[in-house]
Amino acid sequence: MKKFILLLLAALYCVSSPAAVAVRDTATIHKTGWNFAPLPVVSYNSDLGFQYGVCCDLFNYSDGSMFPNYRDHFYVEASRYTKQQTLLYTQYNSDYLIPNIQSTFVASYQLDPMYYFYGFNGLETYDPGLNANKELRTARYSYWRSMIRVMADFQGNIIGPNFRWAAGAAFWNFRIADLKMDGYDAENTLFYEYKSNGLIRPEEADGGSHLELKLGAVYDTRDFAPSPSRGIWAEAFFTGAPDFFRAGTSYLKFCAHFRQYLSIARNDAFVFAYHLAYQGTVAGRTPFYLLQNIYNLRMLQTSSEGLGSANTIRAVMPCRLLGESYAWANVEFRIRLFKFNLIKQSWYVGVNPFFDCGAVLRPYEIEKYASAYPERSVEELKAASRAFHSSVGLGLKLGMNRNFILSVEGAQPLNRGDGEFGVNVGFNYVF
């Protein structure tokens, strides 16, 4: 698992303001105009090498009257591993670009020379000794992938500001191939085995392009979107792709998220938050390379894939559970330990113990799997695919102006074969 090492955020600002003095438990500083927080990205992976890059959050608070809400928000990231893994990402959010419409735009490119593939429905036994083992020349759970994503989502009022319609579109382009990394046998992978056994169709083995359309509704009573202390954030929508590009597949999915935030302490220093989610195919069949997509109407992370990963069941290996339908839940306590003012910014430090869980409800291609591996019956495979997976962990949060939130989370999977203790460093809360 990737282990991120980020430079201390405060040090970046102290360079430009060496005379800054911290003040404990002071009033919030109101910001005006543009405010930005650049941060270097540094990490190391034994197979992909060193990662280097930069990311930046930019907020436009205009005249400050709406603070801590903002008029415009940009997030930009560019990072690369010395062995080719690349991420280029940008996101823009605004409630004012189009009058009375919430607008979100995302564009990203990601190249993964060793993308994760643990099979369908969590049925395959995971052997860590075969995961990127150069002595055996095997990276059994990997293949080569590149992805282009362009998204535009909009929300407008139906009844007051809390009940809104939602609509949008997304273009996806996936290019897929066997491993191209030196030192590994491209035919000694689960991906190659699935292709040979017919579990991955020839017309999907190289990837494809899709134009997805979204339509749904949102109910949102949060007091403050980036780090809410109270309220409900619920959304239900359909998303699907007609066969515009003659890829041979079309599909329609229903997605639902229910999130609630309950302030237990008077000063909002202790918040109980939970997230219940469902995503399932209601018509058609999803190409295998789209199974990992987790759909939201507003992205909080640069990646939204599962089931597993830092966005769904934390510390469970990314894309460990690939099925046609999922259900999962996240439960956590958000505790603000203290707040302070530093270099003309308002900060807080907090922790968030959490519990995550989820399962595949409708397995993918289960009959084909039973034909390829006849030693297990369809009924046995269906029961195994619906196994309950979970993890438990603790996070540390550093928030600036309640908008820019640096997150460090460590978690332990509770199921054998789902991975080991993992640490993730990123931005924002998971929900």
Q: Per-residue pLDDT tens for 351-395? A: 999 999 999 999 999 999 999 999 989 999 999 999 999 999 999
- Tokens in use for 283? 């018509």
Measured between alpha carbons, how far is 145 from 115 in angstroms, rounded to an integer?
6
- Tokens in use for 268? 């909002």
Q: Residue 264 gets which letter from DSSP?
A: -
Q: Cβ distance 235 to 275 under 8 Å? A: no
State how beta strands 389-400 and 345-362 pair.
antiparallel
pLDDT for position 127: 93
Is the pLDDT reported for residue 112 higher than 50? yes
Average pLDDT over residues 99-113: 95
Measured between alpha carbons, how far is 149 from 285 in angstroms, rounded to an integer?
20
Among 421, 371, 411, 363, residue whose Cα is nearest residue 387:
363
Is the pLDDT reported for residue 24 higher than 50? no
Return the residue matching tokens 């809104």. Answer: 164
CA distances from 425 to 42, 129, 376 (A): 11, 26, 40
Q: Is 322 left (phi over 0), alpha (psi -120 to 50) or beta?
A: beta
pLDDT for position 332: 98
pLDDT for position 22: 33
Average pLDDT over residues 334-345: 91
- Peptide bond connecting 414 to the previous residue in cis, omega within 30 degrees of 0: no
Q: For the chain, percent helix, then strand, then coil, each to nearest 5?
A: 10, 50, 40
pLDDT for position 70: 86
Mean pLDDT, rounded, of the chain: 88
Q: Which tens digits make up the pLDDT trace of 238-265?
A: 999 999 888 788 999 999 999 999 999 8
Q: Which tens digits make up the pLDDT trace of 145-203?
A: 999 999 999 999 998 889 999 999 999 999 999 999 888 999 999 999 999 999 999 99
Contacts (Cβ under 8 Å, ≥6 apart) of 320: 118, 122, 126, 307, 308, 313, 389, 418, 419
**Contacts by residues 382-385 (CB-CB < 8 Å, ≥ 24 positions apart):** 384/121, 384/122, 384/123, 385/121, 385/122, 385/123, 385/323, 385/360
pLDDT for position 247: 77
Contacts (Cβ under 8 Å, ≥6 apart) of 45: 2, 3, 51, 81
